[in-house]
């Protein structure tokens, strides 16, 4: 299993609008691609020097090849939609985590 982690720092002034949009629009659109098994959103409990509020969205994927398919077929359009809506108001980075075992 692979966890596709997207960490986003969003300006505090629009954080509630962004959070609502993520929960009602963006994450459901990502899940509707059927490339992921589940998704979890968390707030990162740190105070950033640059300000803003940091969130992490973790998408569970059955394989790297499935994630690669998502990144080719769906990610560019979905990321562009997010960028157009919140341009200049966020910083994001993505990491891949391989699940070794569950306890």
Kindly tell me the sign of the dihedral angle through the C-alpha atoms of 98, 23, 71, 93: negative
Query: Rounded to whole angstroms, how far apart are CA atoms 22 and 38?
Result: 15
- 19-35, pLDDT tens digit by residue? 999 999 999 999 999 99
What are the residue boundaries of the structural domains of the chain, listed by start? 14-42+61-98
Both tokens of residue 45? 């409990």
* Buried/exposed code over 15-41 (b: 16+ C-beta within 10 A; e: otherwise): beebeebbeeebbeebeeeebbeeeee
d(CA 94, CA 76): 13
54: number of Cβ within 10 Å: 18
Q: Read off the pLDDT of residues 61-98 as tens digits, 9 standing for 90 and up.
A: 999 999 999 999 999 999 999 999 999 999 999 999 99
Per-residue pLDDT band for 50 (boundaries 50, 70, 90) equals confident
Residues 6+ apart with CB under 8 A from 64: 2, 96
């Amino acid at each position: 299993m692979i966890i596709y982690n997207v960490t986003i720092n969003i300006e505090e002034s629009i954080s509630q609008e962004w959070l609502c949009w993520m929960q009602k629009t963006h994450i459901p659109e990502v899940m509707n691609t059927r490339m992921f098994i589940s998704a979890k959103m968390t707030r990162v409990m740190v105070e950033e020097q640059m300000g803003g509020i940091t969130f992490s969205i973790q998408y569970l994927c059955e394989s790297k090849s499935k994630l690669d398919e998502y990144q080719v077929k769906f990610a560019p359009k979905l990321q562009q939609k997010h960028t157009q809506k919140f341009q200049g108001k966020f910083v994001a980075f993505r990491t891949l985590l391989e699940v070794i075992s569950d306890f």
